[in-house]
Amino acid sequence: MSVLPLHATRSGLYTVKPRFQALLAPLAQGMANQRVNPDVLTVAAVGCGLLGGAALGLSPQQPLLLWTIPPLVALRLGLNALDGMVATRRGVARPWGKVLNELCDRLADLAFFWPLLILPAVSPVWAVASMGAMLLVAFIGVLSETVTGVRQYGGPMGKADRMACLGLAAAATALLGTWATMQILAIVIVGGGLLTAYQRLERTHAAL
């Protein structure tokens, strides 16, 4: 539930985050008025990941479940934005919230993507590599904040970008009836993740 510093470098879908937050502002204010605990929103995003992962894992037997993944992706991203907005409006933002936010983000990522390991036409090597790339990108972002005071959100394959790719891949798989789209997803996540990791390291080094 951390708030993005104004001087942090952003790229990818993070460039539209201010507009996304503006759309959610009335809902965030209403939640703040109702004294909703922002930690509940943070943990709820993990629940979206578990549901999305379950749907993806069961989709070879029930292909219609693929259509539940895009809305769960959108809900997860909405909850990720709302927790920080509600915490700020309630004046309860604190360091522990940042820790919980980072932990739950990683759990949600893995919950959404682990079924790549068992889907038809997806190489387990690429599936593992895609999850490793996600964790690497997040680790470098947090490490940057540790040494420079600024959380790095830059690069073409941040959290919002990879979630959007998952939603698109699920819809494409449902429409085309081929699981090769999920193999492409894993490859894109790895390639984009490595490029993102490099860019974040480069920006962190420049900041030092």
pLDDT tens digits, one per residue of 37-83: 999 999 999 999 999 999 999 999 999 999 999 999 999 999 999 99
Alpha helices in the chain (DSSP H): 17-33, 38-58, 69-90, 95-113, 124-148, 159-176, 180-207
Confidence label for 13 from pLDDT (cuts 50, 70 and 90): confident
Please report whether residue 161 resides in a domain: yes
pLDDT digits (tens, 9 = 90+) for 165-203: 999 999 999 999 999 999 999 999 999 999 999 999 999
Residue 7 domain-assigned?
A: no
25 assigned to some structural domain: yes
**Domain total for the chain?**
1
How far are the Cα atoms of 16, 47, 72, 109, 144 from residue 53, in angstroms, in the given order?
Answer: 26, 10, 10, 9, 29
* 39 falls within a domain: yes
Q: Are 160 and 17 in contact (CB under 8 A)?
A: yes
pLDDT tier, 8 (very low <50, low <70, confident <90, very high otherwise): very low
pLDDT of residue 7: 40
Q: How far apart are CA 165 and CA 187, in angstroms?
A: 11
3 confidence band (pLDDT: 50, 70, 90): very low
Q: Residue 4: inside a domain, yes or no?
A: no
CATH number for the domain harbouring residue 52: 1.20.120.1760
Model confidence pLDDT, tens digit, residues 137-157: 999 999 999 999 999 988 999
Dihedral sign computed on CA atoms, order 19, 70, 188, 124? positive
The fraction of the chain above a pLDDT of 90, given in percent, is 89
Q: At what angle do helices 17-33 and 69-90 cross, to 10 degrees?
A: 60
- DSSP states of 40-81 as a string? HHHHHHHHHHHHHHHHHHHTTT-GGGGGGHHHHHHHHHHHHH
pTM: 0.91
pLDDT band at 6 (very low <50, low <70, confident <90, very high): very low
Alpha-carbon span 30 to 200, nearest angstrom: 35
pLDDT at residue 10 is higher than 80? no
Q: Average the pLDDT over 26-44 and give the result.
A: 97
Q: Is residue 97 part of a domain?
A: yes
Residue 46's CB is within 10 A of a number of other CB atoms, namely 21
Round to whole Å and give the CA distance between 181 and 200. Answer: 28
- Is 1 part of any domain? no
Does residue 1 carry a pLDDT above 80? no
The verdict on residue 3 lying in a domain is no
Residue 138 belongs to what domain range?
12-207
